Structure 1
Amino acid sequence: MTVGILVVSQSVSRGLSADKVVDALKQRLDGLELKAHKVVPDKKEDIQAAVLDWVRQDIKLILTAGGTGFSKTDITPEAIEPLLDRKAPGLVHAMLSYSLQITPFAMLARPVAGVCGETLIVTLPGSPKGATENFQAIKEIIGHALAQLGTESSRSLHKEARSGHHHHHHHGNLAKHELVDSVVARHRVSPYPAISVDEAYSKISENTPGPEVIEVSILEPRIVGSVVAENVTAQMDVPNFRASIVDGYAVISSDGPGVYPVVSVSHASKNDQKQLVAGQIARITTGAPLPEGADAVVMVEETRLVETTEGGSEEKLVEILAKNVRAGENIRAVGSDTRKESLVLAKGSRISPGGGEIGALASVGVNKIKVYRKPVIGLLSTGNELQDVLAENALHYGEIYDSNRPTLVSMVQNCGYEVVDLGIAPDNKGSLVKIIRDAVDVKKIDCLITTGGVSMGELDLLKPTIENELHGTIHFGRVRMKPGKPTTFATIGRSTVIFALPGNPASSSVCYHLFVLPCLLKWQGIEPALGQKLPTEPIVKVKLAEDLKLDPQRPEYQRVSIRQRDMALVATSTGFQRSSNIASFKKANGLVCLPAASDFGKTVLATGTVVDAILIDQIYM
């Protein structure tokens, strides 16, 4: 087992006094391997950064020495406490009892002990004597504590300790997980290793089905947001005749200024043209074809009416005032908008909601194109405590309205996907299997999104049901992130994808944007940006409007309101981030990506720091 010793001392760190604690402790380690030692001043940030760094390196036991007393600079307990996932009051008690037998001054010591990740941290006094005495008090039992940290249950460990053999059964491959009927026998620790968001992206990318090509009319609503599956080229020139750009008169440019007879009229809708010869002009409207023989158009503002026909209804003679008219003036040449055989839409381009692509297709006579089919999404909530808000039933004690499905229905539809609402599944295996099979086989959904039923409760049936009843594969069952740790990604066969999201509304909506949508985007043929594993919603750089506290262990995706201020995008946290609280205060249009304190080396990101944010809605002014 590896050990790190952190000496907390202003004077030692400045080199004013020698450090004798490490040597004293070294002699007592007996079989523990001293992997790292370091001296830091009495500063919270320095202590935390050093400890988190060692936790990341997987050092199993960290002993701090110094800074546990009552003087102003003694802040080691305050630095360590927020990093602990679980406290170990028994160790503290043992150290104090032991020291009190030696000196009443032990009453003034304030040690803390506990677990951060899979590392045990214990604070010792700064004097070599005090440190070794305290360590002596707990040394015998510490080996057992460290052995427990890496395993699933202490019960098996006590058994192993007695029978003298270890068997590690839960890492490496994801073994099948049986659904145990007895609550007593359920897992107390998730059998799924927590993987990073980046690893989750790799697994989603590898297991997203390839896109399927379909042909759709350019006026079908579902075409918006679709990706074009083959190059579309123009089968004609646009325009395919010489067209006037203005209202005016078609002329022969070499005639020059003067008074000319109007011999014909060319409208965009009809024309009774005859070929012009020198000394004649023809009236023409915008977009109309040019008569043969004419080579320029003079706009009506540069002419004067000289004489009308007898009834006064038509022009007979018109004076051209414009000088130096050049051939080709005010004429849109054949193919000047789009050349025949030229590329109108490239394979892989996306049909935007702005309508430009549809207009371009219609202008070259294309009325249907091949695109990649968008997956159909099924939404299912699980939980006996849920009531459907549309059913208008009164709530009984302990029941809540299901807010996840309405939230997700709206989000998924707004992203342009067809949704099948599968309602609420009761917490029993039979109905869960029936609903999922029916959704896939009859309702033809491609991707199932479930919420609830994935964490550690005794009714969390989803994972065993997917594996054992539906013969699916679970690719991951936990992600190192906040919120959304129990997010699960599975596939059944080659064509059905399941995302089992946590039951908390805020967690499920964050996980939708983070994991589900990138999978759907890839599935419908969208390529990821350079250096990314999956396509995502736009990622923008934002400045933080306030200090944000980092989670000690997990990267966090906080909901923020992004606004433009002074030529920069500024992100304000939507406040209270508890995962059950969806009624976040301001309109969240982004998720800021915050590092874990253990990865970053500091516990707070300061105001004004620039971070990445995923844009989940438009930026409102």
Structure 2
Amino acid sequence: MLAESLKVTPFAMMSRPVAGVRNKSLILTLPGSVKGAKENLEAVIDVLPHACMQAAGADSRSLHAGGVKKLEAEAGVAAGGGRHDHHHHGGGHVVPKPHTSPEDRPMSNDPSAGPTRRHRTSPYPMISVEEALAIIERETPSPRVEEVPVEEDLVGHVLAKDVYANEDVPAYRASIVDGYAVIAKETRPNTKGVFPVAYVSHAERSSISLPPLRPGKIVRVTTGAPLPPNANAVVMVEDTIVKSTTIDGKEEATVEILTDDIKPGENVREPGSDVAEGSKILSKGDVLSAVGGEIGLLASTGNTDVKVYTKPIVGVLSTGDELVRHDAERALHEGEIRDSNRPALISCLMAWGIETVDLGIVSDSSKDLETVLRDALRGTMDHPPVDVIITTGGVSMGERDLLKPTIERLLGGTIHFGRVAMKPGKPTTFATIPRKTSNNPRKQVAIFALPGNPASALVTMHLFVLPALHKLMGFSHPDGTEDRPSRGLPRVRAVLAHPIPRDPKRTEYHRAVVTASRDGRLRASSTGLEGVGQRSSRVASMAKANALLVLPPGVESLPEGELVEALMMGQIVPGN
């Protein structure tokens, strides 16, 4: 390995390769750099099978029978370290050789090279939205599971395990009306007449067991109160009249029941009639909503803890020397703009029920950006390690667009895509960065580098970030099923309320308001202003928008009445 390295550079003399055997395992050390490791491994890989056989205890004499030339032929190597052409015989190990050099492959700008050396066009291939979503689905880490108490903040979590009732609901035979508990029979007459009231049963907790109801007497019960033993039906108070009261006049002494039609079980909830102990009440994959009653169901059935998928923690930062905090109490200097992206994206995440970390504004400095990203990965005294990082700005072609090189060159991350064929949002970038801390179950962090233009940032946030968050939260596969929510924005079909021009080359995600008309159809209206349209820098085009219309590329405008696909960002608005 050292000899081969010296052919590449004299600095190889600084290398310290070591080889040895422990038990029956062959151990080789390689340099830390990717290039050096590859060159060293290529130098020895053809003879490794022979070395492994010897390390495993093979008979050396029989291995070397036939001489060194025979061994070289079998291994596919030539004297002096060269290789035979492996394609002309069956023996040996074929070493994959790339047909391109590193400088020919997609790679971000080198920040140290200066503006004259930067790319004039993006080195990243343009991919479709569908390809981008597939890559995000593949590279986003799987959800992890935690056991949490049943409390109000469970809303928005997804169950990671089926849940069963720990007890019957109701736990006792209970009245469903205000009235009088009786002993009813299948035959008539049996309930009509005047009866003495033995006592009163209220819907309240009591450690004292109710005495059994004796024939010829009744017990006053309130809604939800337990029935006394032997009672099997309840007569509604509307079907009775008071015949006499106690001496103080506060309670009934005798009551007349006016009907003879009461059947056994009437106006009674049997134990477990709502939910039987041991029955499945919620399924893995169910979302615990704020309006569906799932939290109440868990609480009522004696479940104090459940297993759910852990929600991700998302860090949000903005990049650019031109940015000023949105709440800065001063007039802007020339070239400055207020940072609207961070508060917009953080508020969006909060609406989705995601815990966020405000990573602030980072200057156009690779070192500053690296520091902030490293702190986000490992956590600080102010915030825990994040699972997803969202950045805005720094992903186009300018000399100060440092995000991609910082991810690739300084943090060891992988850029999975750097351009998407869509409008707006073409420079959207998705990457993953390995997390080097061993105590975190998520071994890599997903990073979404969104465009700096406000409308582009919000569109790509809904289109790309939300599906990744849904995967981390345990939502079902992107396609979903009838009884499970799928990942990403829900899709509907809407009719255009007016013509909308199209981009000739790229699919456009057009900001719109979808309303429900009285005829039952959904109608879509653009939020673009006449004469201005929907430039990606136009943040006003997102105001009041509740949908993104998916407009395929084309030369001609889509006419009024055209049926288009709409991705719903918010609730459908009532229309005329």
Counterpart check, 1:509 vs 2:458: yes
Task: Give the match for residue 299 of structure 2.
Answer: 362
User: Of 303, 315, 332, which aligns to 2:240?
Assistant: 303
3-state secondary structure, aligned to 1:437: helix
User: Of 287, 308, 317, which aligns to 2:254?
Assistant: 317
Q: 1:522–1:534: 8 Å Cα contact kept in structure 2?
A: no
Task: Give the match for residue 156 of structure 2.
Answer: 225
Q: TM-score, normalised by structure 2?
A: 0.75
Root-mean-square deviation (CA, aligned residues, Å) is 2.0
Structure 2 vs 1, CA of residues 172 and 327 (structure 1 numbering), >3 Å: closer, same or farther? farther
Q: Provide the C-alpha distance between the structure 1 equivalents of 2:103 and 2:200, rounded to a whole number of angstroms.
A: 85
Q: Provide the C-alpha distance between the structure 2 equivalents of 1:447 and 1:615, rounded to a whole number of angstroms.
A: 23
User: Of 567, 575, 578, which aligns to 2:520?
Assistant: 567
Kindly provide the amino acid, as one letter, of the partner of residue 250 in structure 1.
A
1:226-245, aligned counterparts within 5 Å?
226-245=157-176
C-alpha displacement of 1:409: 1.0
Structure 2 vs 1, CA of residues 169 and 595 (structure 1 numbering), >3 Å: closer, same or farther? farther
Structure 2 vs 1, CA of residues 180 and 187 (structure 1 numbering), >3 Å: closer, same or farther? farther
1:165-180, aligned counterparts within 5 Å?
174-175=106-107, 177-180=109-112
Task: Give the match for residue 374 of structure 1.
Answer: 311
Q: 2:152–2:295: 8 Å Cα contact kept in structure 1?
A: no
Q: Provide the C-alpha distance between the structure 2 equivalents of 1:339 and 1:394, rounded to a whole number of angstroms.
A: 66
Task: Give the match for residue 465 of structure 1.
Answer: 406
C-alpha displacement of 1:253: 1.1
Task: Give the match for residue 52 of structure 2.
Answer: none
Task: Give the match for residue 611 of structure 1.
Answer: 564
Structure 2 vs 1, CA of residues 182 and 401 (structure 1 numbering), >3 Å: closer, same or farther? same
Q: 2:108–2:404: 8 Å Cα contact kept in structure 1?
A: no
Deviations 1:119-165 (A, max 9, x none): xxxxxxxxxxxxxxxxxxxxxxxxxxxxxxxxxxxxxxxxxxxxxxx
Q: 1:304–1:319: 8 Å Cα contact kept in structure 2?
A: yes
3-state secondary structure, aligned to 1:411: helix
Task: Give the match for residue 52 of structure 1.
Answer: none
C-alpha displacement of 1:489: 0.2
Kindly provide the amino acid, as one letter, of the partner of residue 578 in structure 1.
R
User: Of 189, 194, 197, which aligns to 1:259?
Assistant: 194
Q: Provide the C-alpha distance between the structure 2 equivalents of 1:528 and 1:358, rounded to a whole number of angstroms.
A: 24
Q: Provide the C-alpha distance between the structure 1 equivalents of 2:248 and 2:549, rounded to a whole number of angstroms.
A: 75
Q: Provide the C-alpha distance between the structure 1 equivalents of 2:453 and 2:394, rounded to a whole number of angstroms.
A: 11
Task: Give the match for residue 538 of structure 1.
Answer: 490
Q: Provide the C-alpha distance between the structure 2 equivalents of 1:424 and 1:313, rounded to a whole number of angstroms.
A: 72
Q: Provide the C-alpha distance between the structure 2 equivalents of 1:534 and 1:330, rounded to a whole number of angstroms.
A: 42
C-alpha displacement of 1:173: 5.6
Structure 2 vs 1, CA of residues 555 and 352 (structure 1 numbering), >3 Å: closer, same or farther? same
* Range with greater deviation from structure 2 (386-395 or 544-553): 386-395
Deviations 1:284-306 (A, max 9, x none): 11101111111110000001111
Counterpart check, 1:554 vs 2:491: no
Task: Give the match for residue 428 of structure 2.
Answer: 487
3-state secondary structure, aligned to 1:391: coil
Q: TM-score, normalised by structure 1?
A: 0.70
Kindly provide the amino acid, as one letter, of the partner of residue 553 in structure 1.
K
3-state secondary structure, aligned to 1:584: helix
* Range with greater deviation from structure 2 (479-488 or 343-352): 343-352
Q: 2:511–2:542: 8 Å Cα contact kept in structure 1?
A: no
Task: Give the match for residue 143 of structure 2.
Answer: 211
1:408-419, aligned counterparts within 5 Å?
408-419=345-356
Task: Give the match for residue 120 of structure 2.
Answer: 188
Q: Provide the C-alpha distance between the structure 2 equivalents of 1:182 and 1:606, rounded to a whole number of angstroms.
A: 49
Deviations 1:285-332 (A, max 9, x none): 110111111111000000111111222222111111112211000000
C-alpha displacement of 1:334: 0.9
Q: Provide the C-alpha distance between the structure 2 equivalents of 1:387 and 1:509, rounded to a whole number of angstroms.
A: 19
Structure 2 vs 1, CA of residues 323 and 529 (structure 1 numbering), >3 Å: closer, same or farther? farther
Structure 2 vs 1, CA of residues 188 and 529 (structure 1 numbering), >3 Å: closer, same or farther? closer
Structure 2 vs 1, CA of residues 283 and 367 (structure 1 numbering), >3 Å: closer, same or farther? same
Q: Provide the C-alpha distance between the structure 2 equivalents of 1:272 and 1:180, rounded to a whole number of angstroms.
A: 83
Q: 1:380–1:405: 8 Å Cα contact kept in structure 2?
A: yes
Q: Provide the C-alpha distance between the structure 2 equivalents of 1:304 and 1:468, rounded to a whole number of angstroms.
A: 88
C-alpha displacement of 1:171: 11
Q: Provide the C-alpha distance between the structure 1 equivalents of 2:334 and 2:113, rounded to a whole number of angstroms.
A: 26
C-alpha displacement of 1:393: 3.6
Structure 2 vs 1, CA of residues 610 and 530 (structure 1 numbering), >3 Å: closer, same or farther? same
Q: Provide the C-alpha distance between the structure 2 equivalents of 1:615 and 1:539, rounded to a whole number of angstroms.
A: 6
C-alpha displacement of 1:495: 2.1
Q: 2:315–2:357: 8 Å Cα contact kept in structure 1?
A: yes
Q: Provide the C-alpha distance between the structure 2 equivalents of 1:368 and 1:392, rounded to a whole number of angstroms.
A: 47
Q: Provide the C-alpha distance between the structure 1 equivalents of 2:107 and 2:328, rounded to a whole number of angstroms.
A: 40
Q: Provide the C-alpha distance between the structure 2 equivalents of 1:499 and 1:346, rounded to a whole number of angstroms.
A: 32
Task: Give the match for residue 225 of structure 2.
Answer: 288
Q: 2:495–2:564: 8 Å Cα contact kept in structure 1?
A: yes
Q: Provide the C-alpha distance between the structure 1 equivalents of 2:552 and 2:460, rounded to a whole number of angstroms.
A: 17
Kindly provide the amino acid, as one letter, of the partner of residue 573 in structure 2.
Y
Task: Give the match for residue 4 of structure 1.
Answer: none
Q: Provide the C-alpha distance between the structure 2 equivalents of 1:295 and 1:434, rounded to a whole number of angstroms.
A: 73
Q: 1:454–1:461: 8 Å Cα contact kept in structure 2?
A: yes
Task: Give the match for residue 541 of structure 2.
Answer: 584
Kindly provide the amino acid, as one letter, of the partner of residue 202 in structure 2.
H
Q: Provide the C-alpha distance between the structure 2 equivalents of 1:275 and 1:591, rounded to a whole number of angstroms.
A: 66
Task: Give the match for residue 47 of structure 1.
Answer: none
C-alpha displacement of 1:219: 2.0
Q: 2:109–2:119: 8 Å Cα contact kept in structure 1?
A: no
Q: Provide the C-alpha distance between the structure 2 equivalents of 1:472 and 1:273, rounded to a whole number of angstroms.
A: 70
Kindly provide the amino acid, as one letter, of the partner of residue 468 in structure 2.
C
Task: Give the match for residue 177 of structure 2.
Answer: 246
Q: Provide the C-alpha distance between the structure 1 equivalents of 2:102 and 2:513, rounded to a whole number of angstroms.
A: 41
1:374-453, aligned counterparts within 5 Å?
374-442=311-379, 443=383, 444-453=385-394
Q: 2:455–2:542: 8 Å Cα contact kept in structure 1?
A: no
Q: Unaligned stretches of 5+ in structure 2?
A: 1-98, 435-442
